[in-house]
Amino acid sequence: MAISERERLSVALVDVAEGREAEFVALLGEFEVLLARQKYGRSETFRDEGRPRRFYALWYWTDAAAAAACHADPAVQALTRKLYRIARVIHVVNGARSGPPDGLLLVDERRGRAEADRRTGFDRRRRDVGRAEGERRAGRDRRLGPTRLRDRPGEVDLVAAARRAREHADAAFSHFKVGAALEAVDGTVIAGCNIENASFGLTVCAERVAMFKALSEGHRAFTRIAIVADTEAPTPPCGACRQILWEFGGNLEVLLANLTKPTGTHRLKDLLPLPFDARLL
């Protein structure tokens, strides 16, 4: 498994949804052909003998520039979006971006940054905080640390992240708080809330805050967004947010919810049926 001086290595753990293995293998084939054709590098995938639906994917990038070009390639992004519909991918090592001195970035820690208000991993409480002996959290109230997220593909609670983001909204004038949580194709969750301004016109919606944060942190491909408001009826994104989400996120899955329950799921193309984008320029 030796690599050249210029080559960079990335490693990911992939948990494929039940019954989707054939689609996964087909996507791997397309990706390998694309890597070779564009001279981005090469890849290898190994099945976990103890867990038939778990795979380990290795990418040997030609160099850091080739890796960056690959991540920006629309064809690669399209394949990645398909992959994240059928599998949960945890990037264990990313040698294609700057990081610690040895050049390898352990990216599992990003879960903790995306949900900073939740204690995970070694940061979990080590002492009794008053719960009765033998009592345990049940169901969705249990905290999901990185290990549980790896073992339960597709169960990131994006709506819960949006509800938490809503608590930080600055809605001094409308008193209408909104939270949004945007999921990137690598599994990172980026949260946003509405920020109002005395001039009103400079107010920014939660959806755009989340998208701009994601873009500023280097994310360029996304799978879905959750939007939460304290209303009985669904609260879809406004026209400006639909335009921004479409231009940078494409045909996202849009999850709508209030403080207690889901209120609707849509595709962005249905909320913005005739969009204006770069194809018209």
Band of the pLDDT at 121, cuts 50, 70, 90? very low
Residue 66 has pLDDT above 70, yes or no: yes
Q: Are residues 191 and 256 in the same domain?
A: yes
pLDDT digit string, tens, across residues 126-178: 344 344 444 444 444 333 333 333 334 445 789 999 999 999 999 999 999 99
Q: Are residues 184 and 96 in the same domain?
A: no
pLDDT digit string, tens, across residues 24-37: 999 989 989 999 99
Q: Are residues 75 and 164 in the same domain?
A: no
Q: Are residues 101 and 191 in the same domain?
A: no
- 255 forms beta bridges with 226, 265
Position 125 in a domain: no
Last residue of a domain, one of 47, 76, 105: 105
Q: Are residues 84 and 167 in the same domain?
A: no
Position 113 in a domain: no
- 90 forms beta bridges with 13
pLDDT of residue 152: 40
Residue 100 has pLDDT above 70, yes or no: no
Determine the Cα–Cα distance for residues 212 and 229; give it in Å rounded to an integer: 20
**Rounded mean pLDDT of the chain?**
78
The model scores a pTM over 0.75: no
φ and ψ at 278, to 5 degrees?
-60, -20
Q: Are residues 182 and 65 in the same domain?
A: no
Position 131 in a domain: no
Position 25 in a domain: yes
Position 114 in a domain: no
Residues annotated catalytic, as ranges: 207
Based on the structure, what is the number of domains in the chain? 2
pLDDT of residue 136: 45
CATH number at residue 91: 3.30.70.100
User: Buried (b) or exposed (e) across 60-92, using 16+ Cβ within 10 A?
Assistant: bbbbbebbebbbebeebbebbbbbbebbbbbbb
Last residue of a domain, one of 105, 123, 139: 105
Position 228 in a domain: yes
Position 62 in a domain: yes
pLDDT of residue 95: 59
CATH number at residue 168: 3.40.140.10
Range of the domain at 84: 8-105
pLDDT of residue 96: 56
pLDDT of residue 98: 43
pLDDT of residue 193: 97
Position 127 in a domain: no
Q: Are residues 158 and 267 in the same domain?
A: yes
Band of the pLDDT at 4, cuts 50, 70, 90? low
Task: Report yes or no: 7 and 64 within 8 Å, Cβ to Cβ.
Answer: no
pLDDT of residue 110: 33
